């Protein structure tokens, strides 16, 4: 079964594989960020006290930023293997970087709204 999926993936043209890489990595990264936020707010953050929440927000922002930056690096490395042309690789990484930046800003804003004291 896995071999059949790999064969189908290898038969795709490079732009289709690049789009599949970006969409899959974006979904995984955003789900991971939401999981980190949910786990931290359930276990580590005392959401009843504003002081604890205000101290936790920068830590959450930095943690999520590191996850997003690592995701962009991983997409860049994977794009080297998937996309044959330099311009295509740069385009994939640039588009993915912009998508991750917009996602990060939205998540950071939603964290400020959610933990508003």
Note the pLDDT tens digit of each residue in 3-45. Answer: 665 566 566 676 777 888 888 999 999 999 999 988 888 887 7
**CA 50 – CA 94 distance, rounded (Å):** 38
Q: How far is CA 82 from its chain centroid?
A: 19
So what's the pLDDT on residue 117?
63
pTM exceeds cut of 0.85: no
Note the pLDDT tens digit of each residue in 42-82. Answer: 887 777 777 777 888 888 889 999 999 999 999 999 888 88
Q: Which long-range contacts (CB under 8 A, 24 or more apart) does 37-44 make?
A: 37/64, 37/107, 37/111, 41/115
Extents of the domains making up the chain: 18-114
């Amino acid at each position: 079964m896995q071999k059949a999926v790999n064969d189908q993936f290898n038969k795709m043209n490079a732009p289709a594989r690049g789009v599949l890489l970006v969409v899959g990595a974006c979904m995984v990264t955003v789900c991971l960020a939401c999981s980190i936020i949910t786990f931290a707010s359930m276990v580590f953050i005392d959401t009843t006290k504003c002081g604890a929440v205000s101290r936790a927000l920068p830590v959450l922002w930095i943690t999520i930023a590191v996850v997003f930056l690592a995701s962009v690096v991983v997409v860049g490395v994977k794009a080297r293997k998937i996309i044959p042309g330099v311009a295509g690789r740069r385009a994939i990484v640039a588009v993915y970087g912009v998508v991750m930046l917009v996602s990060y800003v939205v998540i950071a804003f939603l964290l400020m709204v959610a933990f508003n004291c």
